[in-house]
Structure 1
């Protein structure tokens, strides 16, 4: 027979464990949401090593140093899901809808990039994702890009999340490179005293139809987000207020496709036009039926 003291000890231990879990989750949420706001961003990429079969003809990617002003808008905030939309502010008159990141707590549904325009659906084990957050990164048209589940770490004054996930070629390389077809991204999101950093150590892979990978080259990425006053990003805030209904319709349509929990295969272009081009041309008051129709044309 179990004594009352043992039962009480077990209850206290469970209560402390639950309390620690909730405190940890709140720390995670604070870190994730701190990435919202107005930022001056420096994007830095350089190819570090290469392993081509023919080193005489191989041309490495050029080193990139670019800067931008970016508004990161919080568009969904629930205990288990945080959604943030990035907007590039080229000028007060020119705002470009950039990438989007969703954070889901203990998520078990994942779309893993395969190659080309195909993503494989994966069901994750509940035990494997306990206490973890999935980061789902989407392209400018809200189609999938890459996803991964990992634990936020808060130790020795550092707050970061690290993960490895396959992704399509980055936009900076899509029109310049065709000698590899998968970018294996090692991503670290670290919160800093002045904002946050997105650090990357990536593999450029050649993946064949059997799923075999050959390493072509590696690159280092280091994107520095420095927080500035929100007033510098007023143009982005206004643009989102005018256009958010349109893009909610787009997100909702994609969600119905993701909720099928099936592999996703997309067309790169329809009538010689990319999906983002068609969506960017729409007016803010475009009906959902129209955006649904456009997206459906790209789903195989």
Structure 2
């Protein structure tokens, strides 16, 4: 009898331990873990960029030279809502020069997305609640706050490791857009992993030639962008610059939101009247700060400035 009781007790203990190990986080707990991971992308970093083509279907394809670079980048949370987090990146070139860089908007269970087609054009995609359940969309924008690419995926938190991945089409990367004409779409396979030192942005990218007849794979590349935390003192000028400019760029984002929301398609020209789009908007930002424009003035001037760059 004692032996039987011992077996029953041990069995109970094993069952309790198994139940404890397989406990599933409540949805609210998972959502908060997701938010914490996303917010940890913000900070002051040294970034190493490494890209290289690894394979191609054509045996005669001439592989491009590997791309390596580095920069100092500050990523600042500018919107923190329960289901929307916006992170603005700034490049600190030196003690007197800063460039407003890319922006990433994270939205939770968002059925609306802009899908890149080709030739700097996008179309609206709409997904069901089931498609995006429990998922976060990363919406990436250019330095001028025009769309770049958007994709959704699930954050995982296994064994203390936080990671997110997705695949979506995008324009050519800036490092190749001015020097390559042999492909017109980059299908990005993105994976973000939080590390002790910062985070890793790993990419498996397909360089695609898109025509009315379909897609043709040109080459595949691997990419690694390693964000390593560094001393914030390096970014004193960038922080001062952003303090002066942030209201203007908030108005720019609002104008873009109206433009994107006004139709089912969007096509953006990078050049108009002899000026690049980002040059036009950056110049307006300096003028806004100097002349102390109101939000209404900012929006009106940005709307007017955007018109030559837009087509449906």
TM-score by length of 2: 0.86
CA distance in 1, matches of 2:300, 2:54: 47
Poorly superposed stretches of 4+, deviation over 6 Å: none
CA distance in 2, matches of 1:59, 1:271: 36
- The alignment partner of 1:281 has SS state of helix
Equivalence for 1:13: none
Equivalence for 1:203: 206
TM-score by length of 1: 0.89
Equivalence for 1:7: none
- The root-mean-square deviation of aligned C-alpha atoms, in Å, is 1.6
Q: 1:289 aligns with which of 272, 289, 300?
A: 300
- The alignment partner of 2:264 has SS state of coil
CA distance in 1, matches of 2:56, 2:252: 39
Equivalence for 2:26: 20
CA distance in 1, matches of 2:56, 2:179: 17
CA distance in 2, matches of 1:158, 1:84: 21
Q: How many aligned positions are there?
A: 280
Deviation at 1:295, TM superposition (A): 1.4
- The alignment partner of 2:44 has SS state of strand
Equivalence for 2:253: 251
Query: What pairs with 1:87-236 in structure 2 (closer than 5 Å)?
Result: 87-210=90-213, 212-236=214-238
* More helix per residue: 2
CA distance in 2, matches of 1:261, 1:96: 30
Deviation at 1:261, TM superposition (A): 5.1
Question: Could you tell which deviates more after superposition, 23-32 or 289-298?
Answer: 289-298
Deviation at 1:251, TM superposition (A): 0.5
CA distance in 1, matches of 2:307, 2:64: 35
CA distance in 2, matches of 1:45, 1:127: 35
CA distance in 2, matches of 1:70, 1:253: 26
Query: What pairs with 1:35-54 in structure 2 (closer than 5 Å)?
Result: 35-52=41-58
Question: Could you tell which deviates more after superposition, 222-231 or 33-42?
Answer: 222-231
CA distance in 1, matches of 2:282, 2:58: 38
